[in-house]
Amino acid sequence: MNHSPALPPVTVLGLGPMGQALAATFLGAGHPTTVWNRTAGKAADLVARGAVLAGTAAEAVAASPLVVVCVLDYDAVHAVLDPAAGELAGRTLVNLTADTPGRARATAAWAAGLGAGYLDGAIMVPTTVVGGPSALVLYSGPESVYEAHRPTLACLGGTAVHLGADPGRAAAHDVALLDVFWTAMSGIVHAFALASAEDISAADLVPYAKGIGALLPDIMDDFARRIDRGEYAGDGSDLLSAATGMEHIIHTARGHGLDTGVLTAAHAVARRAIDAGRGSDSFALLAETIARTPA
Ligand SMILES: NC(=O)c1ccc[n+]([C@@H]2O[C@H](COP(=O)([O-])OP(=O)(O)OC[C@H]3O[C@@H](n4cnc5c(N)ncnc54)[C@H](OP(=O)(O)O)[C@@H]3O)[C@@H](O)[C@H]2O)c1
């Protein structure tokens, strides 16, 4: 480990799995690293590797010009930082906690009121990838603040993207991308349940399920073109056909007494478009149908 005096100190608040990965990465890159966590015992490995464990969040903030916070959500961010707010003036807070775009903007305003620079960030990869070439971290907030800390943040690895001055923009990408992820995850576990009910083991289904996953990148490109142009003319596969396929799944799952909540909800959106006379259009049209759904 090389604590080069040339590298600026970094503080990491929050030592869940991701906070530990972040702190270990800064430490490994040679940044003097101060850590703090509500549950202090989680700092033991980092301290053994050279991190300094602060006694309070305020002491941790005071230790570095760059303070990274990564906890459960923004309620936890405020639980950690409100008692340390007096130390934030003149420092930069990089909030890598996931939450909503609105809360990112509110937290940016809160930090500005304290005289702190603020970047909001979204980590789009698991802990094991942090610091490596496949890492992806999205940032938003003032460009000057990002540029000032870019060399330090670059050690988190892979690709770092500054998405603009609006502090909510990283979180906006995060929620949209996690919409893809969690909706897909829900489909994956439902498919395994359905397969199991039909005496197909998960291992037997996987090779074919991966084939379905491999179709999705081209579909995303096609949908993006259609959605950005607002052109939804059916092209070989239309909404009516898609909704009928969804019904086969729902009927089979119901026959086995399985929960069908996720697909029933998705099917209802498709039906709404079909009932509005758009059954021959592309499935991509549903991006507009969803946007018009009354709350
Ligand atoms: N893990 C991943 O692969 C991953 C990937 C991308 C993004 N993220 C994001 O990174 C953030 C942190 O994730 P994580 O994996 O480290 O685990 P997490 O379970 O989301 O967060 C755990 C951390 O939050 C702290 N915390 C929770 N409630 C608190 C409160 N009321 N007051 C003070 N501290 C509180 C915990 O402190 P204690 O240790 O004291 O409980 C711990 O430091 C999340 O926003 C998550 O969405 C995680």
What's the per-residue H, E or C state across the chain? CCCCCCCCCEEEECCCHHHHHHHHHHHHHCCCEEEECCCHHHHHHHHHCCCEECCCHHHHHHCCCEEEECCCCHHHHHHHHHHHHHHCCCCEEEECCCCCHHHHHHHHHHHHHCCCEEEEEEECCCHHHCCCCCCEEEEECCHHHHHHHHHHHHHHCCEEEECCCCCCHHHHHHHHHHHHHHHHHHHHHHHHHHHHHCCCCHHHHHHHHHHHHHHHHHHHHHHHHHHHHCCCECCCCCHHHHHHHHHHHHHHHHHCCCCCHHHHHHHHHHHHHHHHHHCCECHHHHHHHHHCCCC
Q: What's the CATH number where 124 sits?
A: 3.40.50.720
**Domain shared by 157 and 18, yes or no:** yes
How many structural domains does the chain have? Answer: 2
Nearest to 126 by CA among 20, 231, 232, 224: 20
Whether 117 maps to a domain, the answer reads: yes
| pLDDT in the model for residue 3 | 47
Last-in-domain residue among 164, 187, 206: 164
C-alpha 184/C-alpha 132 separation (Å) is 25
C-alpha 257/C-alpha 77 separation (Å) is 42
Q: Which atom of ligand 1 is nearest to the CA of 15?
A: 43
Report how far ligand 1's centroid is from the alpha carbon of 120 (Å).
15
| pLDDT in the model for residue 292 | 84
Q: What is the CA radius of gyration of the chain?
A: 23
Report how far ligand 1's centroid is from the alpha carbon of 13 (Å).
10
Sheet holding 92-95, edge to edge: 52-53, 33-36, 10-13, 66-69, 92-95, 117-123, 136-140, 159-162
Report how far ligand 1's centroid is from the alpha carbon of 74 (Å).
10
Q: Which atom of ligand 1 is nearest to the CA of 14?
A: 43
Q: What's the CATH number where 253 sits?
A: 1.10.1040.10
Q: Which structural domain range is residue 154 located in?
A: 10-164
**Domain shared by 36 and 151, yes or no:** yes
Pocket test residue of 39, 68, 72 for ligand 1, highest count of atoms within 8 A of CB? 72
Whether 222 maps to a domain, the answer reads: yes
| pLDDT in the model for residue 248 | 98
**Domain shared by 97 and 215, yes or no:** no
Whether 173 maps to a domain, the answer reads: no
Does the pTM exceed 0.85?
Answer: yes
Q: Which atom of ligand 1 is nearest to the CA of 17?
A: 16
C-alpha 232/C-alpha 115 separation (Å) is 48
Report how far ligand 1's centroid is from the alpha carbon of 101 (Å).
18
Angle at 87 between CA 143 and CA 37, to 5 degrees: 95
Q: Which atom of ligand 1 is nearest to the CA of 71?
A: 24
- Which residue numbers in the chain have pLDDT < 70? 1-5, 293-295
C-alpha 266/C-alpha 269 separation (Å) is 5
Whether 119 maps to a domain, the answer reads: yes
Q: Which residues line ligand 1 (CB under 6 A)?
A: 14-19, 37-39, 42, 70-72, 76, 79-80, 97-98, 123, 126-127
Q: Which atom of ligand 1 is nearest to the CA of 127?
A: 3
